[in-house]
Amino acid sequence: MSRILLILLGLVTGPQPQPPMTGRDLLRAMHDRYAGRWYKTLTFTQRNTATHPDGTQEHSTWLEYAGLPGRLRIEFLPADSGQGLLFVNDSQYVFRGDTLVNATAFVHPLMVLGFDVYFDPVERTVSRLERLKFDLVGPVREDSWDGRPVYVVGARGAGDLRTRQFWVDKERLVFVRLLEPGQRDTTRLNDIRFNKYQPAGPAWVSAEVVFLVDGRPTWLEEYTEIKTDLPLPPALFDARAWKRTRH
């Protein structure tokens, strides 16, 4: 009799509601979707447009090489200037005239959310993003962006665009937007967008990245000559070998 009663009770009460998804849950879903399927290297030419407060623009071109997870090399053209950046092991290295002029600890949020999340253990991704002050424990909310449904992690509710947060395409599970207060002036709002995704095998590449401050475009990156899974020598990401390996 007690067994029948439990069955009837289950029919009356129905299934128990699932707890809301958290940022940690979403990061795990992103990792599991593409683990073992994401490209391991990425190379491209990056054409930059800097827009100054007076509306004038300045253009530049960079060459970029990514070894995933966690390694990014940027060479400023012309190559013989010896200028560029390395991001390796949560550190940033700055080069001028082929000389290392600065090295600082730096967790690159765009590398974490756009690429490393598909390689690193979920707890490592969580730890790095929590160091950057993202709330990964609160519930994820749903919204739309560029005509597509998205998940929003870190916002305190609908309409909150001031809290540090990131947006993920719901269907593709790829990063599309980051919002955070300005580093020097916290009353200002930085808005970074990964646009124009295109397929790369079973994975994706964003061919345009836009940076805005308080809604005003300040920096545009446009990627061409995009190639994935080309062999890249480890020395390319060794600060000691910068001059010897630059192109």
Domain ranges of the chain: 19-245
pLDDT-based confidence at residue 2 (cuts at 50, 70, 90): low
Neighbouring-strand partners of residue 195: 208
Q: What is the pLDDT of residue 125?
A: 98
- First CA to last CA distance, the chain: 79
Alpha helices (runs of H) in the chain, residue ranges in sequence order? 2-13, 23-34, 109-114, 122-131, 242-245
Determine what percent of the chain is predicted with pLDDT higher than 70: 92
Average pLDDT, whole number, for the chain?
A: 93
For domain 19-245, give the CATH number: 2.50.20.10
Identify the residue whose tokens are 């010896």.
Answer: 82
Q: What is the pLDDT of residue 166?
A: 98
Question: Comparing 174 with 5, which gets the higher pLDDT?
Answer: 174
pLDDT at 9 over 70: no
pLDDT at 47 over 60: yes
Write the pLDDT tens digit of every residue in 145-193: 999 999 999 998 888 889 999 999 999 999 999 999 988 888 899 999 9
C-beta of residue 212 within 8 angstroms of C-beta of residue 197: no
d(CA 96, CA 205): 29
HSE-up of residue 31 (Cα within 13 Å, Cβ side) = 18
C-beta of residue 127 within 8 angstroms of C-beta of residue 120: no
pLDDT at 16 over 90: no
What pTM was estimated for this model as a whole? Answer: 0.91
Contacts of 176 (CB under 8 A, 6+ apart): 145, 146, 150, 167, 168, 169, 193, 194, 195
Q: What is the pLDDT of residue 24?
A: 98
d(CA 141, CA 150): 9
Please give the average per-residue pLDDT across 51-79, as a whole number.
97
